[in-house]
Amino acid sequence: MTRQMNPTDRAKRQYMVRFVIAMIAYIAIIIPVSTAAAHTSGALRIALAMTPLIPIAVLFISAVVMIRSVDELERQIHIEALAISAGLTALLALTYGLLEVAGFPHPSAWITYCVLMFTWGITVPFVSRRYKG
Amino acid sequence: MKNRIRVLRAEHDWSQAQVADLLGIARQTVNALETGKYAPSLPLAFKISRLFSKPVEEIFDPDSVEE
For the segment A75-97, the average pLDDT, to the nearest whole number, is 96
Chain A interface disruption, residue of B31, B34, B38, most A CBs within 10 A? B38
Chain B interface disruption, residue of A1, A3, A8, most B CBs within 10 A? A8
Q: Do A128 and B28 touch (CB under 8 A)?
A: yes
> Could you report the predicted ipTM of this complex, rounded to two decimals?
0.88
* Higher pLDDT among residues A27 and B1, named by residue: A27
Nearest CB among B26, B31, B40 relative to A74 is that of B26
Low-confidence winner among A4-8, A57-61, A75-79, A85-89 (lowest mean pLDDT): A4-8
Q: Which residues contact B54 (CB under 8 A, 6 or more apart)?
A: B8
Query: What is the pLDDT at residue A1?
Result: 46
Low-confidence winner among A9-13, A46-50, A120-124, B61-65 (lowest mean pLDDT): B61-65
State the amino acid at position A55 in one-letter form: P
**Residue A71 to chain B, least CA–CA distance (Å):** 5
For residue A39, the SS3 value is coil
**Residue B26 to chain A, least CA–CA distance (Å):** 6
CA distances from B2 to B14, B35, B64, B67 (A): 20, 7, 6, 11
Determine whether A85 is exposed, middle or buried from the number of CB atoms within 10 Å of its CB (0-12, 13-18, 19+): buried
Sign of the C-alpha dihedral computed for residues A76, A81, A86 and A91 taken in this order: positive
| Crossing angle of the two packed helices A72-101 and A111-129, in degrees rounded to 10 | 140
Q: Is the pLDDT of residue B65 over 70?
A: no
- Per CB-CB distance under 8 Å, the chain A contacts of B21 are 3-4, 6
Report phi then psi at A91, rounded to 5: -65, -45
C-alpha–C-alpha distance, residues A131 and B17, integer Å: 17
Flag whether residue B32 sits within 8 Å of chain A, measured between CB atoms. Answer: yes
* Higher pLDDT among residues A46 and A110, named by residue: A46
Per-residue pLDDT tens for A7-54?
A: 888 898 999 999 999 999 999 999 899 888 888 888 999 999 999 999
Q: Do B26 and A8 touch (CB under 8 A)?
A: yes
- To the nearest whole number, what is the mean pLDDT of chain B? 92
- To the nearest whole number, what is the mean pLDDT of chain A? 91
Q: Name the DSSP class of A70.
A: S
For the segment A119-125, the average pLDDT, to the nearest whole number, is 94
CA distances from B3 to A3, A18, B11, B45 (A): 28, 38, 14, 11
Q: Do B40 and A4 touch (CB under 8 A)?
A: no
